[in-house]
Amino acid sequence: MPEKFTSDDLKKFIKFGITGGINTVIDFVVYTVLITLFSVNLYAAQVVGYACGTLNSYIVNRSWTFRSKSKFFSRELIKFIVVNLITLAISLVAMYFLQQWFMGINKIVLKLPVVAVTIVVNFVLSKLWVFRG
């Protein structure tokens, strides 16, 4: 039976959103620098930018959002990596389809709807599986 979402979950979601905003800034800055200054491939830039945001995400979400008591290098970290690999895959597939559907779309603008979709997926999987309890 699925868990119910409580007011504590709302607080966690808000903290997760704040952390996600910071992660998104890190991701966008790295992605934009790679695309504009170094002409890196769209998907490679996405992977590197996402990885930078993900590292920050783990550190902040485990200590502030979900107040995890487990060690830094733990089963929780493995789960976190799995969730973020799934989310990264979703983002790459979404980028591919958006690029196909909206030919010529700015590569920076292309990233915006991708972030909107992946933050929801990431929160649900983080709450229900990674930082459970």
Q: Which domain does 106 fall in, by range? A: 7-130
pTM: 0.80
pLDDT, tens digit (0-9, with 9 covering 90-100), for 76-128: 889 989 999 999 999 999 999 999 998 888 888 888 898 888 888 888 888 88
76 found inside a domain: yes
Read off the amino acid at residue 96. Y
Report how far residue 8's alpha carbon sits from residue 11's, in angstroms, rounded to the nearest whole number.
Answer: 5
The DSSP call for residue 102 is T
2 found inside a domain: no
17: Cβ–Cβ under 8 A, 6 or more apart, which residues?
Answer: 119
1 found inside a domain: no
Instruction: Please state, in angstroms and as integers, the Cα–Cα distance from residue 90 to each residue in 28, 46, 114, following that order.
Output: 17, 12, 8
Report how far residue 35's alpha carbon sits from residue 20's, in angstroms, rounded to the nearest whole number.
Answer: 21
Distance, first Cα to last Cα, the chain? 16
96 found inside a domain: yes
Q: What is the mean pLDDT of the segment spanning 50-73?
A: 88
pLDDT, tens digit (0-9, with 9 covering 90-100), for 90-100: 999 999 999 99
22 found inside a domain: yes
12 found inside a domain: yes
Domain count, the chain: 1
Q: In percent, how much of the chain has pLDDT > 70? A: 97
115: Cβ–Cβ under 8 A, 6 or more apart, which residues?
Answer: 24, 27, 91
